[in-house]
Amino acid sequence: MIEKTDTDLLAEISKFLHYHKSLGITVYPRTTMLEHFLEEWDKKKPSPPQKESLTRQKIGKYSKTSEQKHSFDPGLSAKTTLQDVREEIGDCKRCPLRKTRTNIVFGEGPSDAKLMIVADAPAEDDDRQCLPFQGPAGDLLDKMLAAINLARQEVYLTTLVKCYPGAQARPREDEIKTCFPFLLRQIEIICPTVICTLGMLTAQKMLHSRNSLFQLRGRFYNFNDLCSTDLNGKIVVMPSLPPSLLLENADFKKASWKDLQMIQKKLEEG
């Protein structure tokens, strides 16, 4: 048996950590062994003062200035239906994602849905079928919704960007910026009770944050406080874990289930 050198092990660990980082995983659960290691480390090195993180705050008003808040595209202000917005997008060639897509994946679901689910970008199956959350990830999402007594037909499903970015690719900031006004318009028309973001890019964009998905998930954020205009009714945002990640890492399903239970309670409260 060939023994691995420290260099080989470090290379494998580095590759593994880079893979997790690409998925938005930058925080790991504390095991007993890890707790012991950290306790020993803390004895040797004083801990720096920590600022209260966004995840520890309760739901409340954001101190965002109007420049930092989401603004709705004035060019779409006259639009009144989802179909109008889809027609505004047209055969979009506004950004480089036009080169990697086959179809525009606009979204599906009722315009009065109480729950809106937003992924980062269409997957290859979505691009092929022109609908969000298809394939194995879509099958898992259907089961997740069923667990909180919802069917796919009751939920509005869409994506942050409307075009498939290609295998193993993520939308760039300029591509997100181009497409984001259309998502905001969808939100304004539907005005759901809860928006569940399933992806790090969507959570960060919606919440004006650079924190990882694991730091953001597990609590509600007031969407109205993040916008420059008031929407009819109160909308909250719940960042959670995408089905594709749960298929890769079953251990994260427990955290996802907690998020779903919070969403179910919020919807039942009305």
Does residue 16 lie within any of the structural domains?
Answer: no
Does residue 203 lie within any of the structural domains?
Answer: yes
Q: Do 107 and 195 contact (CB within 8 A), yes or no? A: no
Give the model's pLDDT for residue 135.
Answer: 96
Higher-confidence residue: 205 or 58? 205
pLDDT of 80 higher than 90: no
Q: Distance between CA atoms of 111 and 87, rounded to whole angstroms?
A: 16
CATH number for the domain including 125? 3.40.470.10
Q: How would DSSP label each residue in 151-204?
A: -GGGSEEEESSSS---TT----HHHHHHHHHHHHHHHHHH--SEEEEESHHHHH
Nearest CA-CA partner of 263 in 145, 154, 178: 145
Higher-confidence residue: 63 or 125? 125
Structurally, the chain folds into a number of domains equal to 1
Round the average pLDDT of the chain to a whole number and report it: 82
Does residue 14 lie within any of the structural domains?
Answer: no
Q: Do 71 and 228 contact (CB within 8 A), yes or no? A: yes
Does residue 120 lie within any of the structural domains?
Answer: yes
* DSSP category for residue 4: P
Largest CA distance in the chain: 70
Give the model's pLDDT for residue 266.
Answer: 95
Does residue 69 lie within any of the structural domains?
Answer: no
* DSSP category for residue 242: -
Q: Can you tell me the mean pLDDT for 213-236?
A: 82
* DSSP category for residue 145: H
Residue 234 domain boundaries: 79-269
Model confidence, pTM? 0.74
What is the separation of C-alpha 123 from the centre of its chain, rounded to a whole number of angstroms? Answer: 14
* DSSP category for residue 80: -
Does residue 71 lie within any of the structural domains?
Answer: no
Instruction: List the single range of 25-34, 151-160, 228-237 with lowest mean pLDDT.
Output: 25-34
Does residue 68 lie within any of the structural domains?
Answer: no
CA 180 → CA 49, 132, 227, distances in Å?
A: 36, 16, 13
Does residue 176 lie within any of the structural domains?
Answer: yes
